Structure 1
């Protein structure tokens, strides 16, 4: 039977996340960020044609549907006051009945040529002055609330816009002010940026604001390359059959993520391990405390993903490179890779090597 859902899937088949070969850093970073969006997003830097966009769209398609208030432009949650707009909040507080529907997690691509008005939204000053009402035209930050915002070639985006996006991602709110009129709405999302370092780097101040940094490289192993090509050919020949063949694995990963989200609040990171993380950050001369905070959160998210309640040193070791490599000070004379430096200091501090 041909349904509306089938029509949509045929128009926009998405390569299954669980079918993606290799690129473990990128996949782990995305999974941990959807388990705990407070990690602060991820920037993925690497060669062209390595599946960055495919993987990011795959994780969005994998996530369970969310409940939203029908016809609300901000994807407001039916009951969580931190995730609803002003009008909906007023309705909830007055015990008004709200129409609710299940929708896919929003996945929004930010075009490089986007203006600040398009990103943040605009206020119709004329209508506000004449009619005395706040006429707000929502922007991308409204549409992506409770979803994933993807910026391809983030290193080519205007620094001012990157700053706005990072501020909203960190605070969970977007504020638009013009001519003394102010509108504020929730904007909680996972910020994912990707780019090719050959085309330029982000400023260190902006790079530091991303929670995690994944590096991806073109696969060199010829057998693995053949496997990737064959997988893609099968998908292109018959997308629906290919998607169906991965349905069980997709559902298994989806349920694991859901369980991890529920378990996250009860995960414990003991004081000794927290001190070790901060000692590593100190040894690496990481500026500020973002590195400490993000490593703590990522380790807890990984622990929850593994179905455990007590963070281990193995959990920390798995995520610490992703959390710190982009926060290290650049030394033009240093020949050691930043990720290798992080692992080396981790092993020293944890007593794994002398």
Structure 2
């Protein structure tokens, strides 16, 4: 008993220290990132419409993948949740409530709310399925003799961003679990007589280096978008990137102050796009052309069609438009289809040339 209390105390101290460090540690501003427009656009579109299905970012080492992903999370406005809820339940949207909160709302209970930063959860490569999905709270089982649920990373990431670095090195079974939860928006856990179902609506972001291996085509297809990034070759841009990073490392708060206006402008643009998204429409003729492109490229299934439609709407909303046009589709379609052309696991992912050739022949002004 004494050992359990000591372990619990140490864990609590580590959590508090981690929270303090996270609050104290400044994040590199998103608008200060030079280049990598493809990756930045994919991330912005996914936070505007999480139903796009996440983004897979593949590129060389040291190209700012992790920095950019953490920067987009820091840019987003705070979200309102039910206070002390384990699953970041939304106070008004039934689809984003856990079952226990739904029951309380239906019973007319008054629930207090609070605002938190958008959750940004890192999934380590060595994580087990129990750590990801949740499991039995062993401590309570031993000390109180009751079975209770201990939430996993999917619960913590609800209504936020779940980031998996080196996703191509993650066990395929865990990748499947993540993609299933991201697609359905729910996580169901059956453990030792306990059955728990909770919302798991998050933007799944994976990154990796293609030299270390690709994901299987069946798993890769489940990501909504695929962004490729390459090391910047132009000397002047490389110097600018180094200067920005040095400036931030020397005085991060001064750097944040310098980019505060641009950060606020982009944040407001994202908020307005989220509000406008439901009113954006896409003509039937354009939807037919999207499907014609997918058919010509021999894309398996209909995910490519669905994701391209959603991404085009998100991009139109981002550009303050209520109607999708051909230029919106051309901007996003390569990101949505490039990774769906691979049939053989030994093949490499198309750089986008094949998609662009077909698009240019079908999508004419």
Which of 262, 265, 285 pairs up with 2:278?
265
- 1:185–1:133 Cα change, 3 Å: farther
Residue 152 (1) aligns with residue 159 (2): no
CA distance in 1, matches of 2:348, 2:85: 52
Where structure 2 has 5 or more consecutive residues not aligned to the other structure, the ranges are 1-19
Instruction: State the match for 2:220 in structure 1.
Output: 207
Instruction: State the match for 1:79 in structure 2.
Output: 92
Instruction: Kindly report which structure 2 residues correspond to 1:315-334, keeping only aligned pairs within 5 A, or say none.
Output: 315-330=328-343
Q: What secondary structure does 2:189 align onto?
A: strand
Which of 321, 345, 350 pairs up with 2:363?
350
CA distance in 2, matches of 1:345, 1:240: 47
Q: 2:56–2:226: 8 Å Cα contact kept in structure 1?
A: yes
Q: Give the TM-score normalised by the residue count of structure 2.
A: 0.90
The CA RMSD measured in Å over matched residues stands at: 2.3
Q: What secondary structure does 1:151 align onto?
A: strand
CA distance in 2, matches of 1:332, 1:152: 21
Where structure 1 has 5 or more consecutive residues not aligned to the other structure, the ranges are 1-6
CA distance in 2, matches of 1:250, 1:272: 37
Q: What secondary structure does 1:308 align onto?
A: coil
CA distance in 2, matches of 1:347, 1:336: 20
Instruction: State the match for 2:16 in structure 1.
Output: none
- 1:133–1:82 Cα change, 3 Å: farther
Shift of 1:79: 1.5
- 1:127–1:49 Cα change, 3 Å: closer
Residue 301 (1) aligns with residue 314 (2): yes
Which of 168, 183, 190 pairs up with 1:170?
183
CA distance in 2, matches of 1:42, 1:9: 24
Shift of 1:99: 1.4
Which of 38, 42, 62 pairs up with 1:49?
62
Shift of 1:334: 9.3
Instruction: Kindly report which structure 2 residues correspond to 1:11-26, keeping only aligned pairs within 5 A, or say none.
Output: 11-26=24-39
Q: 1:10–1:240: 8 Å Cα contact kept in structure 2?
A: no
Which of 269, 276, 285 pairs up with 2:298?
285
Which of 119, 123, 147 pairs up with 1:110?
123
- 1:100–1:341 Cα change, 3 Å: same
Q: Give the TM-score normalised by the residue count of structure 1.
A: 0.93
CA distance in 1, matches of 2:184, 2:73: 22
Which shows bigger deviation, 87-96 or 269-278?
Answer: 87-96
CA distance in 2, matches of 1:88, 1:181: 18
CA distance in 2, matches of 1:134, 1:86: 17
Shift of 1:71: 1.2
Q: 1:207–1:326: 8 Å Cα contact kept in structure 2?
A: yes
Residue 313 (1) aligns with residue 326 (2): yes
Aligned residues between the structures? 346
- 1:330–1:95 Cα change, 3 Å: same
